Amino acid sequence: MPIERVLTQFEKGGKYPIAEYRLIRIGLKELQDLFGESPEDPMYHSYEVVTDHQVRRLQQAAEIEIDRSRYDYFVEVYSALPGGLCD
């Protein structure tokens, strides 16, 4: 099944996303390294962006400015099939 990874933005402490950014310029191997996951982990869960190193790399991958003082960010995955969330 094709998937797409996104950076999801929430108001601090919020329950609902306010924006999503496609992570086109970063692959699974680099994300596994960035979040300390094993090479066997397909990273199908939600991963909170908490370190400055993660922020710097994900800003490049999503082509946005990340402001952790105002927002919470998570790397998530969705189906990339026609009709999926990211279609």
pLDDT for 7-42, tens place per residue? 999 999 999 999 999 998 999 999 999 999 999 999
Is it the case that residue 87 has pLDDT exceeding 50? no
**Residue among 13, 16, 53, 63 at smallest CA distance from 31:** 53
Stretch (H or E) spanning 36: none
Nearest CA to 55 out of 76, 32, 75 is that of: 75
Give the pLDDT mean for 52-61. Answer: 97
Both tokens assigned to 34: 């960035």
* Residue 6 clears pLDDT 70, i.e. is over it: yes
Task: Sketch the domain layout of the chain as residue ranges.
Answer: 3-79
- Rounded to two decimals, the pTM is 0.88
- Is domain 3-79 annotated with CATH 3.10.50.20? yes
